[in-house]
Structure 1
Amino acid sequence: LTAASVKAAYEAGRAGKQAYALGPPPPAETLDVLPDTNAPAPPTWVRWDFDGAAQRSNTCRGEITLHGWWRWQVCEDRTTPPDPGKWLYRKVPSGDGRGERFYAFDAARAPRKDLKPDKGLSWYEREFRLPADWAGRRIELEIDAISGRSAVYINRRQVARLPAANAGATIDITPYVRQGVTNGITVRTKGLVGNLSLRSLPKGARLGRHHIVTSVRQRRVNVDGRVLTDQPAGLRVTAEISADAGGKQSLLRFPTADIVDGSAALMAPLPEEAKLWSLEHPNLYWYRLTLADGAGKQIDQTLPRRFGFREFWIEKDRFILNGTPVQLYGHSHPHFITTAETGVPGFANYMIQRWKDAGLNATYNWNYGRSLQAVFDAADEIGFLFVPKMLPSPASGSGQTDEYLAGYRKLLHRSIDKYRDHPSIVAWMVNPGGSHVWDFCPAKMDDSFRPEDLGFTKSLVERLRQSREEVRRVDPDRLGFHHSSGNEGPVHSSMAYMTFDVDLRERANWPKAWSRTRHKPVLVCEWGLPMGSAWYARTAAARRRYPHHNAIPLYTQYAAMYFGSDAYSWEDDGVLDRLSKPGAWGAFHTCSSVLRLKERFATENIRAWRTYGISFFFHAEVPTFFTGETPKLDLGIDPRIRGAVPDYIPAHISAVWQSAEGFSTLGRTVQALLAPVLAYIGGPGGEFTNTDHSFFPGETVRKALIVINDTPRQVAITGEWTAQDAGAVLARGTLRGSVAAGARAIEAFPIEFLLPAGAKARREVVIRATWRADSGGAQTTQFAVEILPRKQPVPKKGRDVVLFDPHASAAAMLKQASVAYRDADDNLLDDGETLLVIGRRALAAKTDVAKLAAARLDQAVRRGMNVLVFEQAPAEWEGTVMGLRLRETSTRIAFSRAAGHPALVGIHDADLHHWRGDSDLVEAYPEPP
């Protein structure tokens, strides 16, 4: 939106004209009335009767879907009516934005595969007859979702024009339809992509929008309902909750309420026998409202609506569901918004259940542009949390006016009201795209940074707050927070796309600064292991896109960073051929190096982040958790059900099925890591990410069994631990205690023992903890430490050792090792027997490097001088020393590349990873610039 378009809408509103809140107004049209034409009668396989169509009713209301086969043809332009000789037939709802999944058919039911129905405007048309018992009622056309700027005609007369940005519409068509005869509906649109239905309700006083809210904390249930009438005097509203849709198993009848300012507010205590809706027990109920006159005569009654008793809120750093802390472990890329199969019976249920089987409990999805009723119904029934993304806020533009915001609120009301009673929807994700530079800077997660502190984020914050307030005004009983907007709002949210530049330990400790304040919950909206595009060469194309066949894959190179040179032998000979072809995204997930490295990243990241107590959503990773066959959808069912039934599912669209019957190796790893109760051996004293594993004889090893309890109940932990050397038990201890619901036991189960003092050779000691949660089965976790024998140096005659050590860091080490040396002078001419030792930090300062250059270091190296370089800090200069550049890296894993070298005698690759303690060369957790 531009300031000019906002101003134009504002001026139109002031002039009394129709002001379109979002987007420019539609162009002028002359088709207010369509010409009468003799359209061909539909073939016998096209059914427009309501026998067998999805419908429901009571004595006051009725609702019937208009789904099934409609007439269809391409719309040449907005001012040309449909041609009666060009009608084909197409399913409604339909359309996926790609021109796929749905065909147009001729009267002989032959598909026209040459047409791409979703690529432009189309005409849709069908006929219907009103049920006899609808006589005398108000008749509405309910359009749940429609694509683009559209026009709706009833019996050839235009009854509504919808702007491009819309959330569907409810259209009063009472003046345009006739009882006892055939009526026609014609729609010009880019796509009838959502549910469509006819509704009947009383013409006079009637019930409007309504919703139910549970307060677990106050043990109270509230029902609010609008009453549409000009004469509310004497009218009363009541409500009833039952355990069945028919209302035969009544649970609660609310006291009668008067109508105040067009609404009725009903309140009652939460019944003791009411079962709460939760992830473990998704109990569901039904409620209905009744409008009666002063004599108690029923005037209107809503159709039953399903809901669950539950409350979701925030307490400082934690999400709370019904009084129990809950973390959100989710999927951020579910594709429901572009998947036409969501309405096919069982589709959404299967997908969500398999995600839950994998250990996930939440997802988010765009909440407009498609009908997602079947998806949210499945989540309600299975026990799965949703955080739908809302329509982009009008605050994305500038110069908002009252008229402008009123239009946006209207869209919000429609987007929220139709799904508001789903217990699975626990919050709204408002105005996504609020990213700024400090989103996931770890040092700034401690509440020390306010987004409004920087000029370029100040206006962004104002827009975010305004959009959050708008959503809160519509639904004050739910949380509203932002996607990847850092410290703005009630949740610290981020797209934490850390690549291979960030070492595993740094990734694990990403929330460390936040954990010192815990001022609000953290939700990682998108995250990868790492994300797919990080695995490719950093060309401009690869940085902008997901993996594609033009990018250079670096799978084995990255795997070698963590597994050594063995990674280069993991792939078969055909891997490069597979990766060089279009569709390489699928091949990416079959590479052994990718899968093994993802498992390692998942193991270290997931358990650390769960221990810190943050929530996270995988992005584009979840489909790779599954393997095997997927269910075969019955696409031949009667399309007059609620939801869309596609004609076919393209084989090349891998995003359709995001789960399958089996788990991949990665999926099994993630499933185990997301177990409701997880235990692993971590560091002592609260430093659970500490993985010190190299010790000298006689030292004390201190570890702890870290226990994560993400169940809604306290669990008792029992078991024992042992420390074994080649099967011989060196030490043992018991594990006994309890962990509260939603808590982490970080120091409650210490493990401590003394290593033998007389070890003469390298030995491995395995710490093994066997534990049970409550009466469950035994589980085992282990951690290995190495005993490195202390060897007394034996002085011997060798090379002439020259030391360049401006910080005196290496001198003491050489003396302790009984190595004789002399300090470097101004000339490093090599005689073939000299070893130059460069001490720690010696190459950081430009002046020290200049001294080596003046002593002709490079010339000496070219003549064969041997040089031993200790660890170096990042340099303050540019250039090379001995042909090498100094670059800061956070990698904590190294590998020996010269086996048998005298400087590496006795050092194994296992000694070169997860070094003890924090960095003492550079600051472990530096402040950002």
Structure 2
Amino acid sequence: MKTKIKDFLLLGLFALASIGLQAQNPEKVDSPIPRPEYPRPQFERSDWVNLNGTWTYAFDFGKSGRDRGFQKSDGFDKKIRVPFCPESELSGVGHKDFIETMWYHKTVKIPANWDGRRILLNFGAVDYESEVFVDGKSVGTHWGGSSSFSHDITSFVKAGQEHDVVVYVRDENRSGNQPVGKQCTSFGSRGCFYTRTTGIWQTVWMEAVNTAGLRDCNITPDYDNNRFIFRPRFRSIQQGNKFRVSVFDGKRLVGKREIQASNTAYCDIRLRKAKSWSPESPFLYDIVLEVIDRKGNVLDKVNSYAGMRKIHIEGNRVFLNNKPYYQRLVLDQGFYPKGVWTAPSDDALKRDIELSMAAGFNGARLHQKVFEERFHYWADKLGYLTWGESANWGLSHNSTEAARNFLSEWEEIVVRDRNHPSIVTWTPFNETWVSGESRQYNRFAIDVFDLTHNLDPTRPINDASGWRHVVTDIWTVHPYDQDPESLRKKLSVRADGGVYKHHGDKEPPYAGQPYIIDEYGGIKWVPKSKRKDSASNSWGYGNDPKTEEEFFTRLEGLTDVILSFDHIWGYCYTQLTDVEQEQNGVYNFDRTPKFENMERIKKIFSKTPKELTN
């Protein structure tokens, strides 16, 4: 009897342990939906279905999946947790080698009450090329690893029924024809290159939209005239329909207007004593966008918001809301230990901004990655300036195919994010290394500059951060000198009025633009508690400081040099957190503080130039 009881207890303990293991493994158990929040806060509809969670997948190393009929699959053998990439721990896969092609599958049910409306299948981002199938039929293809896209699947599905959705992914990040960013093109992470991201890495969702509903709406703040300008686009035009905009200050309606709905129309709403948006006071107006038929029925309703702010350049100064504004930025690469390019939660996105502000920064240069819309939402809410950048590394900048791929993706990025008040600069390229003849690159850079200004004339453009400038509104450089006096000598204005440039005669003459140090520092420091776990190829710029005091002395010395120059109008310190083997962050990779005295960090990065303190 005792033996039976003992065996029963052992079996019970084994069962409990098994349940525990399964709960930690999405291959075994469908965990609660990850990243459940609505992914597009500036264009939010109430009728939507989050498709994150367990999908099935198959790698296709032989690129033979189409021949084997994978597009008609009703489920693959292995499971993955979307929206985390297969390289990540959070995906439940953790495959670290190259994945040039793979397939996803999920069975989705279309809500019965969606009958009669357009049904959109939306992807926050899929790296890089994708084709989507419903019940074996192709519904659309997309190129671009960082931009969001939608497929109208109305004619392929029926309300109230289940359908098989298959996503094919092709990601050739060593081809030179696609933006890669800091994804490593060799097997293991090295230098400033880190774990790769393949396939779905942002939220997937469905929503139902009226056939005459909104496609999008460009909202431009006109700070000087106390008004917002709205430029809507509709899915189709029906005579008699109207476009209605309502602007709220909290619960108080402060502006409302209706116009005839057409893709050539726009409207403005003037506000009495408009409240401005700034880091010091990040006020946001809530906005409701509606499409109404001739009988007054609401066909489509979208919740949005906007900030009243102006960013412009006068001489060598950047102005925010018509006042000179010095930017104290930090480099943020947006990598996460368990999620790679995907934050584990919405709170993690918010927390990164809070950590940066706690360290004394008033914004960030978002580096070699297009951040998801939820990050921009939190930057808008918290009052955090950002520079939007592409993941251009990996492109062969003299290649016409690479240029063609980049231009279409960059257009989607700018159009998606241009309504966010927190974004104050566009940076299409970073450190464009161009070998040989550069005519094609110069043409490429000019095309990107012109395209960006045509899509968004409200923000300055930093054409190629810190490196090979061609045509630019802001002149940026990346001096990583570790000795303050060496940095002072390099950055001093020459007798002929010239300034330090990386490429001298290969760049156009400096024309008096705002001169910003948008990378510097990068001082390595690893706390004693982290040293035993430090990567064997761990690194930072220059020689490692021997003590914390030496670190602080160097950091403050370099920063004070930059602040002391009148011709310099902002900086960006490298970087917010460590990223894998690159250990020069203000915080550790797991977002824990590196220093007991973080107040000293904040004091250094909160300093302002003498011009602002007089």
TM-score (norm 2): 0.74
Pairwise CA distance, 1:181: 1.8
Equivalent residue, structure 2, for 1:701: none
Amino acid at match of 1:523: I
Q: Say whether residues 1:143 and 2:95 are aligned partners.
A: no
**Secondary structure of the structure 2 residue equivalent to 1:602:** helix
1:527 aligns with 2:510: no
The question of 1:201 aligning with 2:209 is answered: yes
State the match for 1:220 in structure 2: 227
Correspondence for 1:236? 242
Q: Is the 8 A contact 2:327 2:362 kept in 1?
A: yes
Distance 1:525 1:651 in 2: 22
What residue in structure 1 maps to residue 479 of structure 2?
496
Q: For 1:867-910, what per-residue CA distance to the aligned partner results, in whole angstroms no more than 9, with x for missing partners? A: xxxxxxxxxxxxxxxxxxxxxxxxxxxxxxxxxxxxxxxxxxxx
Counterpart Cα distance in 1 of 2:33 and 2:538: 46
Note the aligned Cα RMSD (angstroms): 4.5
Q: Which amino acid aligns with 2:291?
A: L
Native 8 Å contact 2:368 2:389 kept in 1: yes
CA contact (8 A) 1:395 1:464 kept: no
Residue 389 of structure 2 is aligned to residue 389 of structure 1: yes
Residue-by-residue CA offset, 1:631-689 (whole Å, 9 max, x unaligned): xxxxxxxxxxxxxxxxxx999999895575646278544422333557xxxxxxxxxxx
The secondary structure found in structure 2 opposite 1:364 is strand
What amino acid does structure 2 have at the position aligned with 1:127? Answer: T
Counterpart residue type for residue 319 of structure 1: V
Cα deviation for residue 340 of structure 1 reads 4.3
1:422 aligns with 2:420: yes
Query: Residue deviations 1:76-129, cap 9 Å, x none?
Result: 523223477852222110116x4544324xxxxxxxx7x559734332212222
Report the AA paired with residue 525 of structure 1.
Answer: D
**Match of residue 614, structure 1, among 569, 572, 584:** 569
Q: 1:351 maps to which residue?
A: 352
Post-superposition offset of 1:510: 6.1
* CA shift for structure 1 position 286: 2.0
Map 1:505-904 to 2 at 5 A: 505-506=488-489, 509=492, 513=497, 519-528=512-521, 582-583=535-536, 585=538, 593=546, 595-611=548-564, 612=566, 613-620=568-575, 622-623=576-577, 657-658=588-589, 660=591, 662=593, 664=595, 668-675=599-606, 707-709=610-612, 744-745=613-614
AA of the residue aligned to 1:331: V
> Unaligned stretches of 5+ in structure 2?
1-25, 170-197, 501-509
Matches within 5 A, 1:18-57: 45-46=29-30
Q: Retained in 2: the 8 A contact 1:481–1:491?
A: yes
Q: Does 1:134 align with 2:114?
A: yes
Query: 1:376 maps to which residue?
Result: 376
Question: What CA distance in whole angstroms lies between the structure 2 residues aligned with 1:497 and 1:48?
Answer: 45
The 1:708/1:362 distance shift into structure 2, 3 A limit, reads same
How far off is 1:397 after superposition? Answer: 4.0
Shift of 1:154: 1.0
* Alignment match, 1:452: none
Cα deviation, 1:8-32, whole Å, max 9, x if unaligned, reads xxxxxxxxxxxxxxxxxxxxxxxxx
Larger radius of gyration: 1
Of the three residues 41, 52, 57, the one matched with 1:72 is 57
How far residue 182 of structure 1 moved from its aligned partner, in angstroms, is 1.6
Which one of the candidate residues 78, 82, 85 is aligned to 1:95?
Answer: 85
Instruction: Please say if residues 214 and 311 of structure 1, whose CA atoms lie closer than 8 Å, have aligned partners that are also in contact.
Output: yes
Aligned residues: 535
C-alpha separation in 2, matches of 1:275 and 1:590: 48
**Are 2:183 and 1:185 equivalent residues in the alignment?**
no
Say whether the 8 Å CA contact 1:154–1:176 is kept in structure 2: yes
- Aligned equivalent of 1:159: 139
Contiguous gaps of at least 5 residues in structure 1: 1-41, 105-112, 438-454, 536-546, 548-573, 625-648, 679-706, 710-743, 746-929
Q: State the 1:66 CA deviation.
A: 0.7
Instruction: Give the C-alpha shift of residue 130 in structure 1.
Output: 1.9
Q: Distance in 2 between matches of 1:605 and 1:588?
A: 13
Instruction: Give the CA deviation at 1:618.
Output: 1.5
Which deviations, in whole Å up to 9, do the C-alpha atoms of 1:15-71 show, x marking residues without a partner? xxxxxxxxxxxxxxxxxxxxxxxxxxx999438999x88599999872222111112
Among residues 249, 253, 265, which one is paired with 2:252 in the alignment?
A: 249
1:399-429 residue CA offsets vs partner (Å, 9 max, x unmatched): 699xx86x76543342123222221111210
Structure 1 residues 134 and 121: CA distance shift in structure 2, 3 A? same
**Structure 2 CA distance for partners of 1:54 and 1:412, relative to 1, 3 Å:** closer
Relative distance call for 1:589 and 1:65 in structure 2 (3 A) is: farther
Name the CA distance, whole Å, in 2 between partners of 1:618 and 1:56. Answer: 29
User: CA shift at 1:299, angstroms?
Assistant: 5.0
**2:471 corresponds to 1:481:** no
- Of structures 1 and 2, the one scoring higher in RCO (CA 8 A, sep 6+) is 2
Taking a change above 3 Å as real, the CA distance of residues 409 and 456 of structure 1, as seen in their structure-2 partners, is closer
The residue aligned with 1:783 is none
Provide, for residues 555-608 of structure 1, a one-character-per-residue CA deviation record: whole Å limited to 9, x for no partner: xxxxxxxxxxxxxxxxxxx99xx7999536379999653644443333333223
Q: Deviations over 1:227-251 (max 9, x none)?
A: 33355x433322111245xxx5323
SS of the residue corresponding to residue 520 of structure 1 reads: coil
Q: What whole-Å deviation, never above 9, does each CA across 1:500-528 have from its counterpart, x for those lacking one? A: 59635425646894699992211222212
Q: What is the aligned partner in structure 1 of residue 505 from structure 2?
A: none
Q: Give the match's secondary structure for 2:376.
A: helix
| Distance change in 2, residues 1:487/1:419 (3 Å) | closer
Cα drift, residue 224 of structure 1: 1.1
Instruction: Specify whether residues 143 and 601 from structure 1 end up closer, same or farther in structure 2 by C-alpha distance, changes over 3 A only.
Output: same
Give the drift of 1:186: 1.5
Conservation of the 8 A alpha-carbon contact between 2:312 and 2:460: yes
Q: Give the secondary structure class of the aligned counterpart of 1:585.
A: coil
Contact 2:327/2:363 (8 A) holds in 1: yes
Distance 1:598-1:462 versus aligned 2 partners, 3 A rule: farther
SS at match of 2:472: coil
The whole-number CA distance in structure 2 between the counterparts of 1:594 and 1:138 is: 62
1 CA distance for matches of 2:84 and 2:149? 17
Query: Relative to structure 1, is the Cα distance of residues 65 and 296 closer, same or farther in structure 2, using a 3 angstrom cutoff?
Result: same
Q: Is the 8 A contact 1:317 1:520 kept in 2?
A: yes
> Which residue is equivalent to 1:925?
none
Deviation of the 1:376 alpha carbon? 1.4
Residue 463 of structure 1 aligns to a residue in which SS? helix
Change (3 A) 1:216 1:196: same
Does residue 62 in structure 1 map to residue 15 in structure 2? no
Aligned equivalents of 2:429, 2:39: Cα separation in 1 = 35
Alignment of 1:291-306 (within 5 A): 291-293=291-293, 295=294, 297-306=296-305
Structure 2 equivalent of residue 472 of structure 1:
453
Contact 1:524–1:617 (8 Å) recurs in 2: yes
For residues 240 and 386 of structure 2, the distance between their equivalents in structure 1, rounded to whole angstroms, comes to 41
Q: Is residue 140–residue 198 contact of structure 1 (8 Å, CA) maintained in 2?
A: yes
1:307 corresponds in structure 2 to: 306
Matches within 5 A, 1:321-360: 321-336=320-335, 339-360=340-361
Q: Is the 8 A contact 2:574 2:584 kept in 1?
A: no
What corresponds to 2:17 in structure 1? none
